[in-house]
């Protein structure tokens, strides 16, 4: 007997993330670009960016993020694993299948990869919620994992980063109950893209900023037209953060669309708690908005029972605005110490070491290639053989 989907509360029961073993500070970057460090710290709101070792990629990051969820909750009721990324490693095989193997998940699980730039994580989340509403006994594991890479010496270089977010979607969620309706907005625009033959993204910075802010208007108007909450009911909003200052710009744009006006100080107070992780990790594409949520929940702000908004944007472009209600007992489910440890364990590297890593490439001709262990994480890329990536769990 199935439940009426309208009566089932669904949302995020657990949320955690992982990032890389290395980082490049923007002080170090500024010393070599000649830009004033304030351009990074205040202009874009970034202080460091996560840099992967050669044996870290979207699979190892996702597996590191997902492992604590499986350890806490088990896998017996997980029926679906959805992997969102725009840093795909194979045109056919879902990256989530590698994670499924690394975590030792049972075979009776569907695994699918989703792509639409940085919006892919939200597409996976909404699909997961629909699956749970149709069968509240099941759980869905959502993974959003990306490595943001731009050309050396390009305008986008300072916004690079890497992380994976993992979410367990269930009925009666412990963290955030997600609500309907949602506001949608799609427009065909070349603001950001990465052809298959490139390992770094291309971006038209001004067009991308304009498209992002236009999508704030478009999603909000659609959200309200479908009966969504008025702006004054929202405690704050988690925005996609390719760089954290854009969240402040977006919140002012949202206020304008909703007919409200606040001071810059009030906007900063509302948005700052969502930026602490992205500020030191950099852009993580599909994971970015969910790192903003993790930062907000981990903050000292008491959110129990509050309604919060979410603005998800993926270049090209697809965007969505939706809301959720924070569970009054959400603090019992948080992983603050683990999140802070992930960030603190990174090793800061020199600009020269960063450039060397950036230009290093894995072979594409099938030549056997062993990858030395460099990661501090729990899973690693061990090498490539016959065009097949080889992954291993790391044992102390």
For residue 231, CA distances in Å to 216, 228, 241, 267, 346 come to 13, 9, 20, 13, 38
Please pick, among 240, 248, 333, 339, the residue that the annotation labels catalytic: 240
Distance CA 57, CA 28 (A): 23
Active site includes 86? yes
Placement of tokens 């019992």 in the chain: 332
Active site includes 240? yes
Contacts of 97 (CB under 8 A, 6+ apart): 111
Question: For residue 314, what is the enclosing H or E element?
Answer: strand 307-314
Contact 385, 368 (CB under 8 A): yes
Rounded CA Rg of the chain: 20
Q: Residue 64 is encoded by which pair of tokens?
A: 């590191």
Of 301, 253, 249, 247, the C-alpha closest to 273 is 301
Please pick, among 23, 118, 182, 238, the residue that the annotation labels catalytic: 118
Active site includes 129? no
Distance CA 252, CA 213 (A): 10
Distance CA 351, CA 331 (A): 39
Contact 116, 318 (CB under 8 A): yes
CB-count burial class (<10 Å; 0-12, 13-18, 19+) for 92: exposed
Q: Which residues on adjacent β-strands are paired with residue 116? A: 118
DSSP-derived secondary structure letter, 43: I
Q: For 259-349, where are the alpha helices, taking DSSP H only? A: 264-271, 276-281, 288-298, 336-344
Q: For 135-192, where are the alpha helices, taking DSSP H only? A: none
Nearest 5 degrees, angle CA 109-CA 297-CA 279? Answer: 95
Contact 314, 186 (CB under 8 A): no
DSSP-derived secondary structure letter, 281: H
Q: Residue 161 is encoded by which pair of tokens?
A: 């980063």
Please pick, among 28, 56, 86, 157, the residue that the annotation labels catalytic: 86
Task: Report, as residue numbers or ranges, the catalytic residues.
Answer: 86, 118, 240
């Amino acid at each position: 007997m199935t439940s009426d989907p309208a009566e089932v509360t669904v949302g995020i029961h657990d949320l955690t993330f992982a990032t890389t073993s290395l980082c490049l500070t923007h002080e170090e970057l500024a010393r070599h670009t000649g830009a004033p460090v304030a351009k990074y710290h205040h202009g874009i709101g970034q202080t460091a960016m996560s840099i992967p070792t050669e044996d870290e990629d979207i699979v190892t990051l996702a597996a590191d993020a997902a492992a604590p969820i499986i350890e806490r909750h088990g896998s017996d009721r997980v029926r679906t694993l959805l992997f969102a990324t725009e840093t795909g490693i194979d045109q056919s095989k879902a990256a989530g299948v590698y994670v499924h193997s690394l975590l030792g998940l049972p075979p009776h699980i569907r695994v699918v990869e989703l792509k639409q730039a940085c919006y892919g994580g939200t597409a996976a989340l909404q699909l997961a919620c629909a699956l749970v509403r149709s069968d509240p006994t099941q759980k869905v594991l959502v993974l959003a994992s990306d490595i943001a890479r731009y050309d050396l010496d390009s305008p986008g270089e300072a916004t690079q980063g890497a992380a994976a977010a993992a979410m367990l979607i269930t009925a009666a969620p412990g963290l955030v109950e997600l609500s309907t309706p949602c506001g949608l907005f799609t427009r065909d625009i070349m603001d950001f893209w990465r052809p298959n033959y490139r390992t770094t993204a291309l971006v038209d910075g001004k067009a991308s900023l304009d498209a992002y802010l236009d999508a704030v208007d478009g999603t909000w108007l659609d959200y309200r037209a479908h009966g969504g909450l008025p702006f004054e009911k929202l405690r704050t909003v988690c925005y996609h953060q390719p760089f954290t200052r854009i969240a402040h710009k977006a919140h002012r744009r949202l206020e304008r669309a909703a007919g409200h006006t606040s001071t810059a100080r009030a906007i900063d107070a509302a948005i700052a708690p969502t930026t602490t992780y992205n500020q030191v990790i950099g852009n993580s594409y599909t994971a970015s908005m969910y790192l903003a949520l993790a930062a907000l929940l981990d903050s000292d702000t008491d959110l129990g029972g509050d309604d919060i908004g979410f603005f998800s944007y993926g270049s090209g472009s697809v965007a969505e605005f939706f809301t959720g209600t924070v569970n009054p007992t959400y603090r019992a489910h948080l992983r603050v110490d683990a999140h802070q440890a992930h960030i603190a364990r990174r090793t800061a590297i020199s600009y020269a070491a960063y450039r060397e890593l950036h230009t290093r490439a894995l072979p594409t001709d099938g030549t056997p290639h062993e990858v030395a262990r460099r990661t501090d994480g729990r899973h690693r890329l061990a090498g490539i053989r016959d065009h097949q990536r080889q992954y291993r769990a790391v044992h102390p």
